[in-house]
Amino acid sequence: MKSSTSEYCHQIKEKALQLGFAACGIAKVKSLDTEREHLQKWLTAGMNGTMGYMANHFEKRLDSGKLEQGAKSVISVLFNYYPSQKQVDLTAPVISKYAYGKDYHLTVKEKLNNLLIFIQTHISSCSGRAFVDSAPVLERQWAKAAGLGWTGKNSVLVTRRFGSYVFIGELIINLELTYDPPFTRDHCGTCTRCIDACPTKAIVAPHVVDARKCISYHTIESKDQIPEYIQSKLQNQIFGCDICQDVCPWNQKLNPNQSIDIKPIEGLLDMTKKDWSQLGNVRFLDKFKDSSFERTGYDRIMRNISYLKD
């Protein structure tokens, strides 16, 4: 049985790479008890801000076996989204790199569903479900459990080969497989570049980010007015923030993904502040259909732009 499951894992990982994923690892479904205290403290301190959903389904977040009946394996995949192109105008409103192209939820989930179909067709008629930042799944912890990387001091997953510019997705299936050893080493060492670079001091301790101080949270998630002390530190950013990632040593020599899957939205990287301000709701909806901007919405993007200095 062991040799069979090992062969199954090899086939699954090969297919994942063929589908465009950068890496694939597999972990046994279990309760992530080591994360319980960390998550509870973070929620109790209110560091999730207005993201109340982060407190929902607490036990399911810790045990993916409670999400899928009879689940036995968590297949984690990484998708490299480091872009080959950057914004042209250095004075233009800044956009997080993950939002340059089509909404990653759609891109990654489609690939995961194709991987599930492959497994069901060629390996086992198992049942399973794909997750991409859309359910109570501790995706970074599962990626770590599958041997794909470690948690950086800015709380994002960091990998030796692809840095931290990776999307994470999971397939939770009721098929027993051979499991990868977890990633146990922290390669951040004594480095504190991400902590030091954060303009709002949102990284309040190693591996702890207070969303209430985070530019990404305020420009994307929060529907409230951005506090004045955050406004003064936006550094021209209107959608997300990559500062803590840009300074990371593991992100200095990355190979960009040339795939059409992350092709930038036409004209996006050339847009100036004037272009954004004159966009209008109708053109916004047309230009950013099926993008990450669509979920945040026109009004909030315009709100963010209004805070920028001339």
Q: So what's the pLDDT on residue 88?
A: 87
Per-residue pLDDT of 277-295, as tens digits, reads 999 999 999 999 999 999 9
| Whether residue 154 has pLDDT greater than 60 | yes
Q: So what's the pLDDT on residue 64?
A: 83
Q: So what's the pLDDT on residue 87?
A: 93
CA-to-CA dists, residue 30 to 17, 19, 148, 219, angstroms: 26, 27, 17, 35
| Mean per-residue pLDDT over the chain, rounded | 94
Per-residue pLDDT of 248-257, as tens digits, reads 999 999 999 9
Domain ranges, ordered by start, for the chain: 2-89+97-173, 193-256+264-306
Active site residue 261: no
Q: So what's the pLDDT on residue 1?
A: 41
Q: What percent of the chain has pLDDT over 70?
A: 99
Give the CATH number of domain 2-89+97-173; options: 2.60.40, 3.40.109, 1.20.1050, 3.40.50: 3.40.109
Q: Please give the distance of CA 301 from its chain centroid, rounded to a whole number.
A: 20
Per-residue pLDDT of 27-65, as tens digits, reads 999 999 889 999 999 999 999 999 988 888 888 888 888
The single residue of 33, 63, 133, 261 carrying the catalytic annotation is: 133
